[in-house]
């Protein structure tokens, strides 16, 4: 049942009680008072719910920060720094793998052709697999940006409910997408066109 349905049901139930109690003395003021009372209760529950969401978002951020390597010496003040640390750790690991693969590649050229072909094929697979560093970095960026947007929205809503600020809604201007608007980063495989799909787009007009 939706919140508005619950509110309507509560209103009808309490209205029946007041009507039975006051009979013909029931006034418009009684109904107005009942409505304000229920609306207040409703807003309090909404406020409590949003407050819980804000708390959960904060704890998610702390949980994300906890397992980071080499970060035990201080408190991480900013989610972007956490992200940078994850990406940097992956980049360092990738470069170490690439260093080794390149060294092996140079040594292999002195081996006989059969063996070197097999080893070079495996080294190619290592280079291909190292794509993960770029992709994972972009995926982490997407997740953290979304988390920060949600947090901002929840905090604005909380502030509004506390009467601290008023959120102004402005009509959105209709404009052509900028380059930044087009940036989505990697999508989940099931939601995104494959290389074959892209090739078909290119083959079309």
Partner 1 sequence: MVDKNMPILIVDDYKTMLRIIRNLLAQLGFTNVDEATDGTMAFAKLEQKPYNLVISDWNMEPMSGLELLKKIRADTRFSQLPFIMITAETKVDNVVIAKQAGVNNYIVKPFNAQTLKSKLAAVFGNF
Q: Which of residues 49-108 bind partner 1 (CB under 8 A)?
A: 91, 94-95, 98, 101-102, 105
178 φ/ψ angles, rounded to the nearest 5 degrees: -80, 175
Among 114, 167, 182, 190, binds partner 1 (CB under 8 A): 182
Among 89, 120, 158, 161, binds partner 1 (CB under 8 A): 120
Among 71, 119, 130, 150, binds partner 1 (CB under 8 A): 130
Q: Which of residues 22-41 bind partner 1 (CB under 8 A)?
A: none
Long-range pairs for 1-5: beta carbons < 8 A, 24 or more residues apart? 3/42, 3/46
Residue 183 found at the interface with partner 1 (CB under 8 A): yes
Distance between CA atoms of residues 184 and 139, nearest Å: 10
DSSP secondary structure code for residue 185 in this structure: -
Contact 56, 151 (CB under 8 A): no
Residue 133 found at the interface with partner 1 (CB under 8 A): yes
* Of residues 73 and 181, the one with the C-beta less far from partner 1: 181
CA triple 43-49-50, angle to 5 deg:
90
Residue 77 Cα to chain centre, angstroms: 19
Residue 157 found at the interface with partner 1 (CB under 8 A): no
Q: Which helix (H) or strand (E) holds 104?
A: helix 79-108
Residue 111 found at the interface with partner 1 (CB under 8 A): no
Which stretches of the chain bind partner 1, using CB under 8 A? 91, 94-95, 98, 101-102, 105, 120, 123-124, 127-128, 130-135, 137-138, 177, 179, 182-187, 192-195, 198, 201-202
């Amino acid at each position: 049942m939706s919140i508005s349905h619950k509110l309507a049901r509560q209103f009808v139930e309490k209205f029946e009680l007041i009507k039975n109690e006051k009979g013909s003395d029931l006034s418009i003021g009684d109904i107005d008072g009942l409505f304000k009372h229920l609306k207040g209760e409703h807003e309090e529950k909404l406020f409590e719910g949003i407050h819980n969401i804000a708390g959960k978002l904060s704890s998610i951020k702390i949980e994300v920060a906890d397992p980071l390597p080499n970060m035990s010496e201080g408190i991480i003040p900013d989610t972007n720094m956490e992200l940078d640390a994850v990406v940097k750790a992956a980049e360092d690991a990738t470069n170490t793998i690439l260093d080794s693969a390149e060294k092996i590649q140079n040594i292999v050229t002195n081996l006989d052709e059969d063996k070197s072909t097999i080893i070079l094929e495996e080294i190619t697979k290592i280079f291909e697999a190292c794509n993960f560093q770029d992709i994972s970095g972009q995926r982490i960026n997407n997740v953290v940006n979304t988390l920060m947007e949600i947090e901002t929205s929840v905090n604005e809503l909380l502030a509004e409910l506390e009467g601290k600020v008023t959120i102004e809604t402005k009509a959105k201007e209709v404009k052509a997408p900028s380059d930044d608007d087009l940036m989505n980063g990697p999508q989940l495989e099931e939601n995104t066109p494959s290389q074959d799909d892209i090739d078909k787009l290119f083959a079309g007009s």
